[in-house]
Structure 1
Amino acid sequence: MRVVRGLVAAFLAFTIPAVPPARAEPPDAGTPAVSVPPAAEEAAVATARRTGAAVEIESMRSETRQVFARPDGTFTLEQHARPVRVRQATGWVPVDTTLRLRPDGAVEPVATAAGLTFSGGLGQPLARLSRGGKALELSWPGTLPKPTLNGDTATYPEVLPGVDLRVTADVDGFSHVLVVKTRAAARTLPDLDFPLSVSGLSLTSDKAGNLEAVDRTGGTIFIAPTPTMWDSTGAPSQAEVKEGRAPEARQATMGVSLEGRKLRLRPDRAMMNDPKTRYPVFLDPYFSAARGAWTAVWSNWPSSNYLNSSDVARVGHVNSQTNRSFFQMNTGSTIHGKQIIKGTLRTYETWSYSCSARAVEAWSTNTISKSTTWSNQPKWVKKLSTVNVAKGWGSACLPGGVEFDVTSQVVDAAANKWPNITVGLRATSETDQYAWKKFRNNPSLVIEYNSLPADPVAADAWSDPGGPCVSGDGRPVISTPTPKLWARLKDVDNSVRGRFEWYRADGTKAGEYLTPVGSTGTAFSAVVPQSLYADGALVRWRVRAEDGKANSAWSPWCEATVDATAPGREPEVSSAQFAENGWSDGVGLAGGFTFAPNGVTDVAAYVYGLDTAPKIEIPPAQDGTAAITLTPRHDGPNVLSVRSKDRAGQLGPIRTYVFNVNAGRAPAGHWPLDEGQGGTAADAAGTHPATLYGATWTPGRTGSALRLAGAYAQTTGPVADTGRNFAVTAWVRLTGTTASATAVTQEGGRTGAFSLQYAKADNRWALAVTGADTDAAPVARALSAAAPRLNEWTHLTGVYDSAAGQISLYVNGRLESTVAVPAPWNAAGPLTIGRGRMAGAAADFWPGDVDEVRLYGRALFADEIADLVNSAATLVGHWKLDDGSGLSAADSSGRATPATLAGAATGPAGWLDGALALDGATGYAQAAAPAVVTGSGFTVAAWTQLDYLPAKDTAAVAQPGTRAAGFQLGFDKEQGRWVLGMAAADTDAAALVRTRSDAVPAPLEWTHIAGVYDALAGELRVYVNGRLSATTVTPHVSTWNATGPLQLGRTRTAGVFTGYWPGTVDDVRTYDGVLSAEQIAQLAAQ
């Protein structure tokens, strides 16, 4: 009998990459390629060592494979040719082909590798084989009776007169055979049409009667060699009938053809009518998977293929017939690169011709396939072992296991990374019938192997001092003749040692060290002993991993040169711009410095620092000198510290070079834009007035500003040399983002050298610098971290520092980004406010307002920029609350933002004339608009008096959003202190970041409280009666701007107004920007 088997292997075969046909085929589905984390193997070895017993690595288990870790750190792979277990819902279970009835009346095996059902005699297909959503169905051309079940076989009696049909479940398929019991039955036996259906496949046949089922890509999934029939000669027992035709049997081929969806079989009438034919006669058409697991070849059927037959395996010669058998085990990548200790093919001999032992040989062969026949055998590559044995004849030599040593073949497979191993069995004598034997068709290949330690590569080795492993010209120079050598070594067995060797320049070995055992992946070390290497000597060393059974390859050579003498002299330092101990201009101006070796012959680098310890390294030029450019950041003495560093990393003494710098130059141009009228904006710094071209005057950040909407202002010529250090600053208010817009630029002929701008493509503030005065010049941009907020005054600063080779952008005094740029060019055209220049024409007009423009001929630094931002604190709201009667409180700041009184608010006498009296329940005053931008620095101050200490948080002044307070200044109930609080976001759940006073409020006492949010410093501050009372350092909490109207006497929490003030409030002031401590003290003194 033959078998329909291996659907998974068949269906998946065509998805696996091709391999050389002489040696390998892709894995079958019973042994899928798996990638097992080394940790799984390491854990199994550790458990095996702890328990003293083998431990299975369950993640490597498959239908055909198991891998075990042994207590000695080795592994054992057990690989079967065919499945021995299957995965079910409850886990892995052994293959069990015993048939049983299902509730729907069909018949199925207990556990097989593929879904298999047989007909229960209820109109179902004869057999259905399925897996992975694909199926093959074979039906009987008639009505089947109810079968008789016996183990793995279902017998349908008398399907035709005198003919039984037997189907047998196999590991991953089934076999079927027609038993023609009598000669009379043979005379009436017709040609048979088996209905056959497949899913996702198509069937083809050739002239010889070979059938193939192929997928949509043309890959062969099933094969059906020419079907055969044989009689009962030489097969007296039922067990022998089940093993297939006996060698003595009379045999013939049957005709086969595909007729639509039917498989037509035509029995050999001559054989059936031959008087010598012994009945019953067996007709055996079959399908099998195209992927090889095992096969046999028959000399008397030289063109027939028996791939994956359910037949037994045979070797030897009997009755003019010779057999050989082949077994193919897919080992995948499991043993690739491993040290093979032993390989054993474990077979089970079921029958021998006698109890006289005869030799059987195991050979390494090439792979088997659907084309394997006696006339087309795979190459017999080399003999592996010979076993002289006889088992299975009778009680004197019972059936039993036979093992063949195949170690040399497994070694080849591991070294050459074969995906599978094919072993051929044949008798030593193929003329001696006593050598004829039968074996089970599912042997196992047992491989004992050791995971070799991984070969260390250069990246796995280093020395201290010296660093990474290097040899040749790039070798390091080290400061000691006794370096510590390190290597990271790995072995899956999780037990490894390192052997270090060190050599002299002449190639002689100077010493070695074997480390203690350690865990895989850890660093192993050895220290070179004293007195082996003199100053200037070459140290050569290498390392390998050892696990007690095998060694890795040696690492690449690592080398170092010993230089134990540090530089003994200070380097020379000179500067044309900044003379030692002299005075020079100035802060923000770049100047050059030169370092020279001063007689030190092996300077590898100069290490320097300006006003810091030496940390920055610069290599010397070929003549041993190095040139740098530095930009002083402060006036007065500047200290440059320099030292030499030799090739071994040793540092010499420090040279201290002191030079004095005058205060930073004033801006080359400064346009306050406070004229408020006229057609010219004066330059407060010099002689560069700007003429207005369509620009108009409007209230500014301070005083007045320019309103620019398709208009601009422009000087008559350049203001600063943009090819050297420069800085540009401006207060800007953007009203739209429909296009890129430039606030300030200095023009060339075709483009601007720089543009302080809004970049539409990035939706960010930007400092853009062009590489040349050409239309196609490259543009570098330093961008803000966040998008601009419209209709808010924002301070922008752009800086070019030639010494650092970079541009920087500051927003509201905070550094946003820094970008490296090549040296810019000097624009000889005018400074323009309100537009840019592109391709020789005006472009990027500014939609909004610009105020306080400055252009410096030097770099600015962070503290200077912060001063510009904070020194511009502007009064944006002042409610004296002296109005007396009425429901409105005037704003005397000039911003015209009056406050409307509501609830129980009244106007009694206050600290300064009148005040606002509030009842703590419903009274408040609300301004017509927000007073400050809470997303940047601000100051708020007020005179306050509490009628009593309230039992809840209350606010004298607040500016809320829709759900929370952008800020609130008032009383903190939890600690009973004055407080400035800011919600982190405009949400109900946002935290209120607070700073509380150390001063304790008292009822009925007038107290001046001021709250400051310093965005640049990231601080909240509270002043009480003009004295700094508390400071809370916070992150940049104000990432949002509260746009609700200013509130006097209440705040907002979770979208509801609350915190009503029980007392009096007077002289409320708000400022955009940060007031100094002195300014706040002056407010409190009024």
Structure 2
Amino acid sequence: QVVDADGGVHFVIPPPVMWDSAASKVSRPERLEARGATGAIGVVDDRMAAPLPGDRVAPMGLRVEAGSVVVDPDEAMLSARDTVWPVYIDPAFNAHPAAEWIAIRTGGYTSTLYNWGDISSTMLGEGDGYCTASSCNTVFTQRLIWEFSGLDTIRGMTGADITSATFTVNGVHSYSCAATTTDMHVLLAGVSAGQSWGSHNWSQDTRYSSRTEYHNASCGNTGYRSFDATSAAQHFAEYDWSTLPLGLKARDESTMTGWKRFRHDATLSITYNRPPDAPSQLMLTNPVNSSCATGAGRPFINSTTPTLSAIVSDPDGGIVNSRFYVVSTANTSVNIWNEAAVEWEAQSGTRFHSTVGAGLLSHGGTYAWRVQAGDWARLSPFSVWCEFTVDTQLPVTPTVTPVASGTGIEAVYQADVERGGVGMLGKFTLSPGTSTDVVKFLYSFGDPAAMKSVTVSQSASATVSFDPVSSGPVTLYVKTIDRAGNVSPQREYRIKVAAPVEDVIWKLDENTGTSSADSGPKGAGPLSITGASWVAGPHQLFGSRGNDWALSFDGVNDAAVSGGPVLDTSKSFTVSAHVRLDPAKVGQGDYTVLSQDGLSQSAFRLGYRSSCDGAGTDCWSFSMPDTSSGTTVTAATSNDVTAGEWVHLVGEHDATAGTVRLWVCEVGTPDRLATGEPIPSGPVVRGGAAWQSPGVFAIGRGLSANTAGNWWPGQIDNVRLFSGHVADAAKLRRLCQGAEVEDFGQGASAFTAVDPTVSGQ
């Protein structure tokens, strides 16, 4: 309160408030609906005058200093991350003097005393009542009127928003020390300088309050006195008046006893409490975060105890509370849940939460919910309705089906069947089974704790790719998630990735003619044989299979070649063959068992070198040039070559690692059996980018400077080519020992002439 030295109140200052611009996030139709529910006329959209519904409001501190009244903005609002700028501060000095005031009288006086002051320095104020004293100069009756304007904030309210109002005047004199009644009227017309006695209606209906007292210096009781103007202010707000004229009239205007003088500095103080705004920004916050929606857009949730939330704001700031209501859409007249938020009460602008009690909601039910706020005196309009559907039923276990064909597919990985190989792409179709609301698949190859996700349209299937990096068993783990967030039981689909399977197999078992057929799945076509002759193969020599044959090459110009390129030498590949080197040719040159022609040289060579260390030590080798015409890198054995005995050679190019490797497995002779254990050499890093050779695949010779050479002297049998590098020791061992492996894991017939006294066979 602002008072004078005598304790008279001049101003009553309501708590100052500040507000942000959070209502910018709320659409105007929502605000219109929310305010319309209170019966208010229109919406105040001028944020400079008052906060809009949805603005976050906070009270400000107020303190008095020497010569000043100071307001302190709320630091928490200024620093909060969710404050929406700009922010407005309103000191709210709403108790203010009248804009205009007049005195009107009878007795032949036709002029209006407009914005009057004191009669004289010794006769303060103006009189109200019946005057017959000599000082009146004549007999007349006078009444006083003050008109208050600039109350737009109050105009935007309803009458129910006004909790109290006080009209305060300064009583400085009364004719008598007898207590007489003065009435306060609400006048229906505004004031102006030209008005006279007959300009206003002073009927009984316009009288709103009164005071019975005297204001005589000799008797005491002078000073500021207040009339109850609550009903007047409520009518002002309810009917949206532009101004509020308040007049004083002596109850008894027939006697001088009721004569009193008042000064012009009357004030009007209004205390109001607007209802909180309709709660806004309604959300489900558990088990999912979901904005308010209805109809087809409503969320599906997998909980019967969801947590609901809304932001509650009050245009006057201060403490608010809230209550949440949940009904079934099948019967909206019965509240299933009707509870206050867990916060009970908090500052305006707080997000309130309510968790629905257990046992009230059920699977398959669709529910609507809304929120109402309060400030312990007034209730807000209800918020908009929001909806959700409860779905606690888990999806069925998904199905997994290998894709049989299509772009990029190199293998069909059937469950529990050894298929494919390293680097051989496969695909799987993941299906939701009989579940009709699946929206996401979770899957992982090998690690159920590190699943990837694929989002699909409701109940659609998904296709995922599998590109194995190693052979052996791998489990595909699959789950589904429905639109409510329910997770299905886990499907475990067991895959067996085969060690590299031969793409091309030339058994060389024809024993007649000048061609040899490819029995592998790639269909590389027959070899055209020039000069080489048919001889008994190692299986026949070792007594394990009588119809095993091989080719014998003279080391001069014998060869067997394909009709075109067979391997993509820019990618990983493996080549293998059983070979026997003519002892008479040892140390006399370099000889090639397998190769594929480039433009001017072989893209790779598997064979024999007479000097591997520059000192005459021979070796088995697998080599590749860095580029089509660059430096050659070689993986070579460190042990001596035993000529005249059967040996299994395997050369590998790993395009991913950029290396070449060689395995040598000594088979021996029927009279001297070797251990049959593959011995690795390498890997050796090759430089440059791997390149694709465009020429024919050749057995028994290589290519240098665009000329065939390095002719093989000896026998060659069982040539096999692989897509993907060989990394499985058991596979190598079976190949070395002569197993007829056309489909990895099938039965095998090995060399049978085994000396039981030799370990490791």
Bigger relative CO (Cα 8 Å, ≥ 6 apart): 2
Task: Report the TM-score, using the length of structure 1 for normalisation.
Answer: 0.31
Task: Report the TM-score, using the length of structure 2 for normalisation.
Answer: 0.42
- The structure number with the bigger radius of gyration is 2
